[in-house]
A and B are shown apart, each in its own frame.
Chain A
Amino acid sequence: EPEVTQTPSHQVTQMGQEVILRCVPISNHLYFYWYRQILGQKVEFLVSFYNNEISEKSEIFDDQFSVERPDGSNFTLKIRSTKLEDSAMYFCASSVGQRQETQYFGPGTRLLVL
């Protein structure tokens, strides 16, 4: 069964460093998403991406964040200058459609900022 994959599974970085989290969505899906979950808290939406542009973003997704689909398979989330509070699990998801379709989640990347 097709699944969303994410790399790396764990990332440790120093405050102020740039990180890139990578995702490979399911191949026939058109909509891509990033979420985060700070330890012990709710899953929070960051951004949705369709047709090579951002379709929606939350208040969390500020200028420190960017997303890109550099080729036909990868979808990346870049954090330019990490802060301690960026430590969280980051989930990528994809869906065929935007509104009525099931979103399929990857296993997540656990980011720790020291």
Chain B
Amino acid sequence: KQEVTQIPAALSVPEGENLVLNCSFTDSAIYNLQWFRQDPGKGLTSLLLIQSSQREQTSGRLNASLDKSSGRSTLYIAASQPGDSATYLCAVRGGTGGSYIPTFGRGTSLIVHP
């Protein structure tokens, strides 16, 4: 059964810092990995989707990498801003057996203070 772990669980940083959020998964036979942002009491906003054949994806100040063989992904946030404060979730789709059901991590709660 696929399990997804996100480290750290919480992070508080001053504005301007570059950040790395980590996501690890136990079954490397995945189709893709998706990073989301969730604001308190709100829905999930998709940030980046990395297919299993890809190594990284970039969008603005965000860069996500995928090392499928080691079961890891990182989300890099450059020059963090207070508006980046949210919970960041990773979700892995697929695993041995070929299910399309995504498995989510618990998330990293990020606070960027001015």
Contacts and interface: CB of A to CB of B under 8 A. Distances in A.
A104 B89 CA distance: 14
Interface residues of B, number: 25
Contacts of A106: 43
B46 interface: yes
A56 interface: yes
Nearest to B104: A43
Interface string B7-32: 00000000000000000000000011
A43 B89 contact: yes
Contacts of B34: 102-103
Contacts of B43: 4, 91, 105-108
A93 B101 CA distance: 13
A13 B91 CA distance: 31
B106 interface: yes
B49 A108 contact: no
A105 B105 contact: no
Interface in A27-63: 41-45, 48, 55-56, 58
A100 B101 contact: no
Nearest to B4: A42
Contacts of A42: 104-107
Contacts of B91: 43
Give the residue among A48, A99, A107 with the most B Cβ atoms within 10 A. A99
B1 to A, nearest CB: 11
Interface of B: 31-32, 34, 36, 41-46, 49, 51, 89, 91, 93-94, 99-107
7 contacts: A43-B44, A43-B91, A44-B104, A45-B103, A91-B43, A99-B93, A102-B49
